[in-house]
Amino acid sequence: MALVMITNDDGFRAPGLRALAAAVREIARVVVVAPERDSSAASHSLTMRRPVRVRDHGGGVFSVDGTPTDCVILGTNRLLPRRPDLVVSGINPGPNLGDDVNYSGTVSAAVEAATLGIAAFAVSVCDYEPEDYSRPAAIARRIAARILAGGMPPGVLFNVNCPVSPRGVRFTRQGRRAYEGAITELADPWGRPHYWIGGGTPVDDGGPDADTAAVEAGYVSITPLRIDRTSHETLATLAAEWGDLW
Ligand code: MN
């Protein structure tokens, strides 16, 4: 039977993770290795300057006192009985579209798995407080079954975003998403300024084939991402244009 590791960035108690684990358990053996606490926007950070503790909750559920990347490294190398056939990260409450992928702990867990040579995808639902996760969980199970049967190209992961009521699937490229008003300046009781980073209004700019546009139109967006970020177009001309640099 296939072995699937489930992780997230919201913590091992998150309802989105539980729904995902339950859905994938219908088609594979599942082990959960997830952060002890919410580490949303942890990106790809690694805990290197203190020890990392693991708690075994029984029934194939482990929590890690660290980041999503720590979870993938420890899960795939130490905690699972063998290297998993697939790592699935989510289900994140809130979309991970366009430039979000650079901050997302959910997506970074899948990036880490792909870096280790393991098939992986990340799933997010486009609602910050979803009432239930049954639609994205069912879609995740279908994608997992497809990958377990047919594999995935090496060095690639899927970033999946599911609208609240999806009307189909679109295969997309990563769009752009900036946040306006994402810095809030406040004064402390002594009048000194301090800041909150986060929130703000997303401003999308990606074109009609982007992840942002698909979700806006009500479709599940599946974006294949590469761990190799080389710009091949730039590389092709760089030697000619910058050949006199040395
Ligand atoms: Mn999160």
pLDDT at 18: 98
How far apart are alpha carbons 84 and 118 in whole angstroms? 7
Q: From the CA of 133, how far away is ligand 1's center (Å)?
A: 14
Q: From the CA of 38, how far away is ligand 1's center (Å)?
A: 7
Question: How many structural domains comprise the chain?
Answer: 1
Q: From the CA of 36, how far away is ligand 1's center (Å)?
A: 13
Is residue 198 domain-resident? Answer: no
Of 33, 62, 67, nearest to 50 (Cα)? 67
Q: Where are the alpha helices (DSSP H) in 96-217?
A: 105-115, 134-150, 211-216
pLDDT at 163: 97
Q: How many angstroms separate the Cα of 25 from the Cα of each of 118, 137, 229?
A: 19, 11, 33
Q: From the CA of 11, how far away is ligand 1's center (Å)?
A: 8
Is residue 226 domain-resident? Answer: yes
Q: From the CA of 93, how far away is ligand 1's center (Å)?
A: 6
Is residue 199 domain-resident? Answer: no
pLDDT at 55: 98
Is residue 184 domain-resident? Answer: no
Q: From the CA of 144, how far away is ligand 1's center (Å)?
A: 20
Q: From the CA of 101, how far away is ligand 1's center (Å)?
A: 11
pLDDT at 232: 93
Is residue 183 domain-resident? Answer: no
DSSP secondary structure code for residue 100 in this structure: G
Q: From the CA of 189, how far away is ligand 1's center (Å)?
A: 31
Domain around 114: 3-174+206-241
Q: From the CA of 70, how far away is ligand 1's center (Å)?
A: 15
Is residue 24 domain-resident? Answer: yes
CATH classification at residue 225: 3.40.1210.10
Which amino acid, residue 74? L
How far apart are alpha carbons 48 and 161 in whole angstroms? 31
- Furthest CA-CA distance within the chain: 62
User: Is the distance from CB of 133 to CB of 91 less than 8 angstroms?
Assistant: yes
Q: From the CA of 96, how far away is ligand 1's center (Å)?
A: 9
Is residue 187 domain-resident? Answer: no
Is residue 186 domain-resident? Answer: no
Beta strand 169-171 with 220-226: parallel, antiparallel or unpaired?
A: parallel
pLDDT at 162: 98
Give me the average pLDDT of each 10-residue run along the chain (246 residues): 97 98 98 95 93 97 98 98 98 96 97 98 97 96 98 97 96 92 93 92 88 97 97 92 90
User: Is the distance from CB of 206 to CB of 212 less than 8 angstroms?
Assistant: yes
| Token pair listed for 27 | 């088609």
pLDDT at 41: 85
Q: How many CB atoms lie within 10 A of CB 44?
A: 17
Q: From the CA of 39, how far away is ligand 1's center (Å)?
A: 7
